[in-house]
Amino acid sequence: MGSAQAGPAFGVLGVVEARVGGEPVDIGHPRRRSVLAALLVDVNRVVPVDELVDRVWGEHPPARARHSLYSHLSGLRRVVAPVGASLTRQAGGYVLTVDPASVDLHLFRELCARSREGDRPLAAADRALALWRGRAFEGADTPWFAEVARRLEQERLAAELHRNDLLLRLGLHADRLADLVATAAAHPVDERAAAQVLLAQHRCGRRAEALAHYRSVRDRLVDELGVEPGPRLRELHRRVLAGEPLPEPDRPTPRQLPAAPPHFVGRAVERAALDRHATALVVIAGTGGAGKTALALRWAHDNADRFPDGLLHADLRGFDPACPPVPPATVLRGFLEALGVPAHGVPAGPAEAGALYRSLLAGRRVLVLLDNAADAAQVLPLLPGGTSGLTLVTSRDRMTDLVAARGADHVGLDVLTGGESVALLAERLGRDRVDAEPAAVAELVERAARLPLALSVVAARAAVNPGFPLRALADELRHEHDRLDALDAVADVRAVFACSYRTLGADAARLFRLLGGHPGADVDAHAAASTAGVPVARARALLAELSRRHLVHERAPHRYGTHDLLRAYAAELARAHDTGAELVAARSRLVDHYLRTGYAAERRLAPHWPPITLPAARDGVVTREIGSYDEAMAWFDAEHTAVLGVLDDAVRHGWDAHAWQLPWVLTSYLNRRGRWREKADALRTALAAADRLGDRDALAVTHHLLGRAATTLGERATALDHLGRALELHRELGDETGQAIVHFSLAAEHEQRHDLTAARTHARRALELHTRTGDRTWQGFDLTALGWYAACLGDHAGALARCREAVALMDDRDGLAHCHQIMGCAHHHLGDHEESVAHHGRAVALFRLLGDRYREAWGLVLTGDAHRAAGREDRARATWSRALAILDGLGHDDGAAIRERLARVPAAAGR
């Protein structure tokens, strides 16, 4: 098989060709090309000799056609051998054995199926269509080739129309209008293609061109076919002509802004500058704690109605002392998901992801708030390409590169004026209290360096002590400043922090110091308890104490975060007051907490997977109880970035047992959320740790999981390498359960290769081993897989038998859901539509309980198909409509397939 760059080894979608390492091979006589093409259409299947003769020579072959055929077959063996294919005689015919993906025809069909199944659909569709080099079987002129070429042209048109629907749904009509026009030009009487161009031109503001295109298509239909355009195209034309709204791209409207600051005063000059911004990019720059984020959020909330298409927000953590700045690729992934791109559809490459992001925002009035940016390099990949919206960047860096190269407006943010500082204290403490001690207030303002963050801490200190004279607080700050022995404004801010810090009890002060090293954006009470080595109830009390003094704030219910200046101050205190051993012990307890709680959550997500043995827990580690599947998913949603952060700690400190097990506990979650590349990256870290340990059990498990990840990502060779190594290790260890599950995974990999024979062999071996070990749940999974392979091969009665056996064995909702779905499909094909509806209904209910909305939607689609087959078209439409609502809510491209079903089954008149 050729390299990815060289393309498939065999081609029939154009002139018939063969390539080795990307270089063309001389096939020989044109008739030999036809023989090769006739075999490539049916790779891995026996083609009888008589049929080959008919395909290659047509209805009137010459007398020596068979002799010539054998000569060509002999010559072709030398052509196909260098690419790993073989040509053999079997049972009255010949079979060309080769990976189907190495033939452009079969790769085209695989990519089309992948596009319709939602795996990066647009990229898959583009790749599929790029395989065409001309008319299929160019130069082959027999009736058989003509008929196959005609059918392939229909498949090509269907793929182009599907691709164009994707372009329109993603709002890429302006970028890819040429693709839509080319399809319509090649098929001038296809009304679907005409409608696509009409809609795209209208969205691009080319109303006159859209109307002219309609007239041209109508004239052709009338002149060539004697018919008027159909009702859908006529209705689209009527709405363009009347200037009525047309369907817009199915795109969600993200609203990601955090809450507006509750106590905001002043900044009239800066807010006015933001109001009159002249470009689509504005930088708010100022020192740490100056209130850049507060200003940006206040202005964004006040002007949200100017951005009806969405509000995107990301904390880039450019100056966080506990962790590095957030990579732009991570932010892009989050933005794309918020804009409706499914997690598994986000492009892996940063350049490709950035291009999709800019295309999605083209022409949309969206506000993008990039908070706490480290430098221009972190911001540039996140800038939309157009001028319809606005990007706000906050940073301690002046961002001169953005101002010079991108023409950004610059809003400098200094400390507050004296009047604004007093107003902030009055907002927090009440005007009467502030007016009663003007001298003390003036000193507090200066001691806080007129910095909003420091003033907020001062106000919190005074607010929790309402009877405390402000003069006493000012005196305390003066003494603290002298004690710090520093000369610049930073010393004043430190003095403010120190004033609040010194009021803390010993335990709260210690927790504050230790939280300076936490790798996440925020922390819950269980993680805080483990960090400090105290009970959860005590940790909650300490966090409340820190919150009262504004040294942490509750970002979400029961989750606490802190400003990066305070985090830096906490880390500075930790280095001064805690020994290195104490700090390492705190980090080790935190790593233990995330491993043990993550393990408990993983057990709720995938209890059927064989457990692993965790290291003994360190003293003081708290494990949070996870009571349900939903609770497990919610915990991972909140904590998975922190788990990845402590994974880095584990590697850095040489805690290799934790370093391979932390990715293990994340695997099911990342898989359910479609974060497949993140899963693979974490597992590669795990493999290195397992290798350092020399732990063959760990190596076997991790190779297996990496193999499954590669299967999901379509990395065929890598998948087999890892799965093969995993199987070898499990055999050496005498682990029959491990061997069985690897066979199950190998079956899935071979199914992806369209080798159902090998898939069934591995599934049967898995069933044999699981039967021997007595694992009933996995026996059910194996039987379900065998049922699916039977259904794929047309043995629907056999599929039902296997699945009935599986249902009797399993007590796993995910497994049962898939089992009932397969049974529903089998009954459908056998004509028993009532049973089909019943089984699909059970599958839908189970997928709903699992929170698997995508599979719930497709269960509804299949239920609707069964209703239609039974003649209940009204119920079919209602069921499909429910599925469409779910997929539209997910922003999933598969909605196009349901719309096609609804279009084919119009609503009954009068309903």
Say how far apart CA 156 and CA 114 lie, in whole Å. Answer: 15
What class is the 10-148 domain? mainly alpha
For the chain, residues classed under CATH 1.25.40.10 are 171-242, 812-911
What class is the 171-242 domain? mainly alpha
Going from the C-alpha of 1 to that of each of 34, 128, 411, the distances in angstroms are 20, 17, 57
- What is the torsion angle, in degrees rounded to the nearest 10, for the CA atoms of residue 818, residue 822, residue 825 and residue 829? 180
**Whole-number average pLDDT of the chain:** 87
Question: 622-643: per-residue pLDDT in tens?
Answer: 999 998 888 998 899 889 989 9
Other beta carbons within 10 angstroms of residue 511's beta carbon come to 27
Q: What is the pLDDT of residue 5?
A: 36
Confidence of residue 689 (pLDDT cuts 50, 70, 90): very high
Say how far apart CA 273 and CA 270 lie, in whole Å. Answer: 5
Please name the amino acid found at residue 317.
R
Asked if the model's pLDDT at residue 1 lies above 60, the reply is no
Other beta carbons within 10 angstroms of residue 247's beta carbon come to 11
Question: 584-604: per-residue pLDDT in tens?
Answer: 999 999 999 999 999 999 999
For the chain, residues classed under CATH 3.40.50.300 are 268-413
Strands (E), 83-171: 86-90, 93-97
For the chain, residues classed under CATH 1.10.10.10 are 10-148, 506-578
Going from the C-alpha of 622 to that of each of 524, 532, 536, 605, 638, the distances in angstroms are 12, 10, 7, 21, 17
Q: What is the pLDDT of residue 14?
A: 93
Q: What's the fold here for domain 506-578?
A: Arc Repressor Mutant, subunit A (1.10.10)
Confidence of residue 404 (pLDDT cuts 50, 70, 90): confident
- The correct CATH number of 812-911 out of 3.40.630.10, 3.40.50.10880, 1.25.40.10, 3.40.50.300 is 1.25.40.10
H or E segment at 764?
helix 756-773
Percent of the chain at pLDDT exceeding 70: 93
Asked if the model's pLDDT at residue 788 lies above 80, the reply is yes
Confidence of residue 661 (pLDDT cuts 50, 70, 90): very high
Question: 502-540: per-residue pLDDT in tens?
Answer: 778 999 999 999 998 888 778 999 999 999 999 999 999
Q: Which of 60-74, 449-463, 775-789 has the lowest mean pLDDT?
A: 449-463
Question: 475-491: per-residue pLDDT in tens?
Answer: 877 765 554 333 234 44
Going from the C-alpha of 99 to that of each of 77, 103, 111, 716, 721, the distances in angstroms are 16, 8, 15, 11, 17
Q: What is the pLDDT of residue 346?
A: 78
Reading the block at residue 168, the tokens are 């329109």
Going from the C-alpha of 890 to that of each of 253, 475, 821, the distances in angstroms are 12, 58, 21
Which residue, among 18, 13, 149, has the nearest Cα to 96 in the 3D structure?
Answer: 18
Confidence of residue 894 (pLDDT cuts 50, 70, 90): low
What SS3 class is residue 15? strand
Rg (CA), the chain: 33
Question: 170-220: per-residue pLDDT in tens?
Answer: 777 776 788 889 899 989 999 999 999 999 888 877 888 899 999 999 999
Asked if the model's pLDDT at residue 549 lies above 90, the reply is no
Q: What is the pLDDT of residue 677?
A: 86
Q: What is the pLDDT of residue 345?
A: 66
Maximum mean pLDDT: which of 150-159, 332-341, 558-567: 150-159
Q: What is the pLDDT of residue 90?
A: 87
Domain 268-413 has CATH 3.40.190.10: no
Do 285 and 292 contact (CB within 8 A), yes or no? yes
Reading the block at residue 685, the tokens are 């870290």
